[in-house]
Amino acid sequence: MNTALFSSAMIFNFLIPIFLLLVILVFYFYYSLKKREKETTKEREESTRRLYELTILKELGERVGYSLNVEEILQIITGSLKQFIDYTAVGYIVINPEKIKINTHIEKSVSRSFLSEMKDRMIASLSALTDKSFDSSAIDEVVSGAIVVDEIKQNIGSLFNIPLVIGGAVAGVLTVAHIDVGLYKEEDMTILYKITGRASEAVSRLEEVVEMEKGKLNAMVLSMEDGVLMVDTEYRVVVANPAIKKIIKFNLLADGKDVNFFDFVNALGGKFDIHGKLEEVIKKKNPYYSERINIDDSFFEIGVCSVSHSMLKGGDQILGAVVVFHDITKDIELERVREEFTSMIVHELRSPLDGIKKIIELMISGSILANSDKFKEYLNMAHQSSASMLELINDILDFSKLQAGKFEVNKEKVDIKEIVENKISFYKISADAKNLSLQSFFSNNSPQFSEFDPQAVKQILNNFISNAIKFTSRGGSVLLSVFTYKPGEPLPTDLARDKFIVFPETADIKINVPALCVAVSDTGIGISKTNLENLFHTYKQVRLNSSDDQNKGTGLGLVIAKGIVEAHGGKIGVVSKEGIGSSFFFTIPL
């Protein structure tokens, strides 16, 4: 019997520790399971948090990327908050340019005192962050969500504020409040800090980009030659570039006030109704282009068009309007010059042609007997008229070729002496008729042969010599001098210039390579300073000071001469003294 007892005691002794061990094991597993559960929950919470963070950031990224609106950003954040944080109320306070705004969303009903305390704490937070004080009565308040029930006596238990910083400045504060105490842990606050941090980064970067683009646009508009003015819908000046300030002759006043719309209205006065046109364009959305408008000495074409941008929600928002002043003064001048040229040609051709027509009319009418002296005289007149018309047409042709750069210079090896002497004998008759002496002189250093287009040079000599004869009174003299010009050296000493006070000097001959130089000097009436300036450039008639019988002329001859000389790579020039004489000269590089 003792053995049995002993055996059962022994079994017990084994069983109890085993049993105890089991219990311990069970507890241990239970405990670790619980622990793991806790960890899993924690992980789940963590991943929820992460997910929330990612979702918010993604949404933020999409929406903030296009918006600089602080309110919008705060709304996005607060809107998604309840998926993650438990709160009684959430709100934000935002600094708008005009006012401070508080927007609060109540999740569960609260009393007015709850809201007012929340508001005070939001303002306090903002004041502390911005170092400014705010008048709580001057703040716009919006409340949404559950109704306000004053009977609910619960006040704020937990609250935390998170600032939204953009570009280094506090733009607003996000606030979360709950009636329960001690609810908000560090993790909750951390994630919100992260979110608002990211948002502010994104917005700051966007603002930088906008500033840069603005800067580019400004630089472009600033450098434009056309005057640009942009106003907003309230007619405040948004952009006014230096060009347009110059047009209205605006000077920055001592007090540094920049230009305003009335400066434009006043400056443009009766010439252009800028206010009226802007109104029209903004209303009708059709751009307006003016005819030429004269302001002081300049002419402008003015364009006005509205500026709008299409909104995401659809439709257009008018931002204002732009006025552009395009300077067309040069174009008008060109037009005028062309018109003058055309009317000059028409007149110069019409008269001789009419003369021919009338002469023929006479001959047809039979009032002149054939082969009579009168008849021959009229035939000569008709011949002369037609010849001068052809000459003019040839001149015009040469002129337009020179203008277009298509004038052909056919250089040949020619003896200038031959050409000069040929011309002298040709013009001897005209010179004799006015009792003028017409001579040539060749310096010892004048070249024997030089290269140039003989026809073209003959044309120049024709023009110079005929002018000299035309503008020299009876008994005067004309001299053709030929020599080699070497830059840096004085003119040859053997030039027979005794009678000719007016003669080119080295300073007048503006060529820097050795060249053949031909000068036609006269003791004529000379040319006034003002006329001298225009000589080779325009084709206006040079008005004469004293009597002359052949003062018609297009003046094209000199312009063409210049073109020919320059086509040879040479220079043309003139020196003259009124009442004493002139000397026209040209050089051709050797």
Partner 1 sequence: MISLNQMKKILVIDDDQFFSKTLEAALPAGKYSLLSAEDGEVGLQKLISEKPDLVILDLMMPKLDGTAFLKKLQESKDLPKVPVLVSSNLSSVKKISDVMAMGAVGYVIKSDESLQSIVQDIERVLGENLEKK
What's the closest the beta carbon of residue 447 comes to partner 1, in angstroms?
41
Amino acid, res. 365: S
What's the closest the beta carbon of residue 528 comes to partner 1, in angstroms?
15
144 vs 530, beta carbon nearer partner 1 = 530
| DSSP bridge pairs for 581 | 577
96 vs 551, beta carbon nearer partner 1 = 551
DSSP, residue by residue, 282-302: HHH---EEEEEEEETTEEEEE
SS3 content of the chain, % helix, strand, coil (to 5): 50, 20, 30
What's the closest the beta carbon of residue 324 comes to partner 1, in angstroms?
35
**Measuring CA to CA, how many Å separate 400 from each of 249, 331, 337, 390, 554?**
40, 19, 14, 15, 14
Does residue number 477 form part of the binding site for partner 1 (CB under 8 A)? no
214 vs 338, beta carbon nearer partner 1 = 338
Return the residues of window 372-391 that contact partner 1 according to CB under 8 A.
374, 377-378, 381, 385
| Interacting residue with partner 1 among 2, 3, 310, 367 (CB under 8 A) | 367
| Interacting residue with partner 1 among 124, 152, 362, 511 (CB under 8 A) | 362
Site string for partner 1, 546-575 (x = CB under 8 A): -xxx-xx-----------------------
- Tell me which stretch binds partner 1 (CB under 8 A): 242-250, 365-373, 447-455, 464-472: 365-373
Return the residues of window 522-541 that contact partner 1 according to CB under 8 A.
541
| Interacting residue with partner 1 among 69, 109, 113, 351 (CB under 8 A) | 351
**Measuring CA to CA, how many Å separate 401 from each of 8, 409, 436, 452, 560?**
138, 11, 35, 18, 10
Are β-strands 477-485 and 437-442 bridged in parallel, bridged antiparallel, or unpaired?
parallel
Size of the site for partner 1 (CB under 8 A): 28
What's the closest the beta carbon of residue 347 comes to partner 1, in angstroms?
6
156 vs 368, beta carbon nearer partner 1 = 368
Q: Which residues are within 8 A (CB) of 348 and not within 5 positions of it... i.e. 6 or more apart?
A: 392, 552, 554
What's the closest the beta carbon of residue 514 comes to partner 1, in angstroms?
42
304-309: long-range pairs with CB below 8 Å, 24+ = 304/274, 304/277, 304/278, 304/280, 305/281, 306/281, 306/282, 307/230
Element spanning 361, H or E: helix 329-365
| Interacting residue with partner 1 among 347, 376, 428, 510 (CB under 8 A) | 347
- What's the CA gap between 421 and 459, in Å, rounded? 14
- What's the CA gap between 114 and 91, in Å, rounded? 13
What's the closest the beta carbon of residue 526 comes to partner 1, in angstroms?
17
Given phi > 0 = left and psi -120 to 50 = alpha, else beta, which region is 182? left
| Interacting residue with partner 1 among 354, 415, 418, 489 (CB under 8 A) | 354
Nearest residue to 461 via CA among 414, 529, 496:
414
- What's the CA gap between 494 and 505, in Å, rounded? 14
| Interacting residue with partner 1 among 44, 216, 236, 357 (CB under 8 A) | 357
- What's the CA gap between 469 and 424, in Å, rounded? 12
474 vs 543, beta carbon nearer partner 1 = 543
Does residue 319 contact residue 233 with C-beta atoms inside 8 Å? yes
Does residue 115 contact residue 88 with C-beta atoms inside 8 Å? no
355 vs 447, beta carbon nearer partner 1 = 355
Does residue number 544 form part of the binding site for partner 1 (CB under 8 A)? yes
What's the closest the beta carbon of residue 352 comes to partner 1, in angstroms?
8
313 vs 543, beta carbon nearer partner 1 = 543
What's the closest the beta carbon of residue 541 comes to partner 1, in angstroms?
8
165 vs 363, beta carbon nearer partner 1 = 363
| Interacting residue with partner 1 among 150, 316, 339, 361 (CB under 8 A) | 361
- What's the CA gap between 308 and 316, in Å, rounded? 6
What's the closest the beta carbon of residue 335 comes to partner 1, in angstroms?
18
11 vs 353, beta carbon nearer partner 1 = 353
What's the closest the beta carbon of residue 428 comes to partner 1, in angstroms?
24
- Tell me which stretch binds partner 1 (CB under 8 A): 172-180, 303-311, 347-355, 562-570: 347-355
Does residue number 440 form part of the binding site for partner 1 (CB under 8 A)? no
Element spanning 306, H or E: strand 298-310
Nearest residue to 574 via CA among 564, 565, 585:
585
- Tell me which stretch binds partner 1 (CB under 8 A): 215-223, 231-239, 356-364, 508-516: 356-364
**147: helix, strand or coil:** coil
417 vs 434, beta carbon nearer partner 1 = 434
- Tell me which stretch binds partner 1 (CB under 8 A): 189-197, 240-248, 349-357, 502-510: 349-357
| Interacting residue with partner 1 among 322, 368, 480, 559 (CB under 8 A) | 368
What's the closest the beta carbon of residue 331 comes to partner 1, in angstroms?
24
What's the per-residue H, E or C state across 58-87? HHHHHHHCCCCCHHHHHHHHHHHHCCCCCC
329 vs 388, beta carbon nearer partner 1 = 388
**Measuring CA to CA, how many Å separate 97 from each of 71, 171, 173, 534?**
12, 10, 16, 63
Does residue 56 contact residue 195 with C-beta atoms inside 8 Å? yes
What's the closest the beta carbon of residue 518 comes to partner 1, in angstroms?
30
What's the closest the beta carbon of residue 360 comes to partner 1, in angstroms?
10
Contact set with partner 1 (CB under 8 A): 347, 350-355, 357-359, 361-362, 365, 367-368, 374, 377-378, 381, 385, 541, 543-544, 547-549, 551-552
